[in-house]
C-alpha cells in the first residue's frame, strides 16, 4: 500500500490512472487521516516534504505528497507556493483565476509554468521528484475539466488548455504526471516500499 497524502479526489484519480494496478494507492481518508496537513513552508519542496513526513510519522505508512505551483514569469514566479490561496484562505479556484488575470491585464509576457514537487517517504528512504510543464496564461476560461488554473493554462505546443484535455491527454503531459512518472519509475526499482 502506498498513500498519496491528499484528500483531493481529482489528484488521486490522476495518480491512480497514471500508476495503474501495480500499487494499491490510497488517499488520506482511507488511512483514517482527516485532519488538515501542515503546509506552511516557503517552497514547494518544503511543503511537499512537510506533508509526507507528517503522514509517515503519524500514520506509519509509506507515502508521497505533492505540492504544485503556477509560476508566472511576469509576476516574478507568483503565485508559486501560494497558488491554492492566491486570492485568500478560502482557496477558491475561480477567485484565484480572476485575480491572476487581473494582475496580468497589462502584461505582454504571458509565459508560465506549472511545477510539481513530490516527496516520497518510506521506512528506508526519502526522495523528491519534479515535473514541469511550460505554457502561457490565456485571457479567457476554456474547458470544464481539470481543476485550479487549468482553464487558463495553455501548454506549449498545444491548442487545448489543460481543462479542455481528457484525463488521458493531460496525464501524458502534465506537471503532476511527469513527477509521478519519475516516482513510479523509481518505486518499480525498489524491492520493498512498505
Residue 59 located in a structural domain: yes
Residue 104 located in a structural domain: yes
Residue 193 located in a structural domain: no
Model confidence over 122-156: pLDDT tens digits? 999 999 999 999 999 999 999 998 789 999 999 99
Q: Copy the grid coordinates of residue 33.
A: 487521516
Number of domains in the chain: 1
Separation between Cα atoms, residue 110 and residue 42, nearest integer Å: 24
pLDDT of 191 above 70: no
Catalytic, out of 67, 94, 185, 192: 67
Mean pLDDT of the chain: 92
- Which contiguous run of DSSP H or E holds residue 103? helix 93-103
Residue 53 located in a structural domain: yes
Q: What is the pTM of this model?
A: 0.88
> Of 36, 33, 62, 59, which is closest to residue 47 (Cα–Cα)?
36
Model confidence over 50-74: pLDDT tens digits? 999 999 999 999 999 999 999 999 9
Residue 45 located in a structural domain: yes
pLDDT of 6 above 80: yes
Separation between Cα atoms, residue 34 and residue 59, nearest integer Å: 11
What is the reported pLDDT for 113?
98
Q: Copy the grid coordinates of residue 189.
A: 526499482
Clarify whether 67 is annotated catalytic.
Answer: yes
- Identify the weakest region by mean pLDDT among 35-39, 53-57, 109-113: 35-39
Range of the domain at 166: 2-188
CATH number at residue 36: 3.90.950.10
Residue 11 located in a structural domain: yes
Cβ atoms of 70 and 79 closer than 8 Å: yes
Residue 102 located in a structural domain: yes
Percent of the chain with pLDDT over 70: 98
Residue 194 located in a structural domain: no
pLDDT of 48 above 90: yes
- What residue ranges in the chain does DSSP mark as E strands? 2-4, 25-26, 63-72, 79-80, 111-122, 125-137, 153-155
Amino acid at each position: 500500500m502506498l498513500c498519496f497524502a491528499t484528500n483531493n479526489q481529482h489528484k488521486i484519480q490522476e495518480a491512480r490512472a497514471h500508476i495503474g494496478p501495480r500499487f494499491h494507492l490510497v488517499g488520506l481518508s482511507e488511512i483514517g487521516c482527516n485532519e488538515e496537513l501542515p503546509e506552511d513552508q516557503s517552497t514547494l519542496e518544503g511543503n511537499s516534504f512537510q506533508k509526507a513526513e507528517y503522514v509517515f510519522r503519524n500514520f506509519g505508512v509509506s507515502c508521497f505528497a505533492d505540492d504544485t505551483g503556477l509560476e508566472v514569469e511576469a509576476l516574478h514566479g507568483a503565485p508559486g507556493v501560494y497558488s491554492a490561496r492566491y486570492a485568500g484562505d478560502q482557496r477558491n479556484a475561480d477567485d484565484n483565476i480572476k485575480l491572476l488575470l487581473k494582475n496580468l491585464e497589462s502584461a505582454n509576457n504571458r509565459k508560465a509554468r506549472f511545477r510539481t514537487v513530490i516527496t516520497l517517504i518510506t521506512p528506508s528512504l526519502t526522495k523528491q521528484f519534479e515535473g514541469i510543464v511550460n505554457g502561457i496564461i490565456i485571457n479567457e476560461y476554456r474547458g470544464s475539466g481539470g481543476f485550479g488554473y487549468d482553464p487558463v493554462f495553455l501548454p506549449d505546443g498545444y491548442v487545448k488548455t489543460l481543462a479542455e484535455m481528457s484525463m488521458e491527454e493531460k496525464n501524458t503531459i502534465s506537471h503532476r504526471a511527469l513527477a509521478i512518472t519519475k516516482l513510479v519509475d523509481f518505486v518499480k526499482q525498489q524491492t520493498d516500499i512498505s
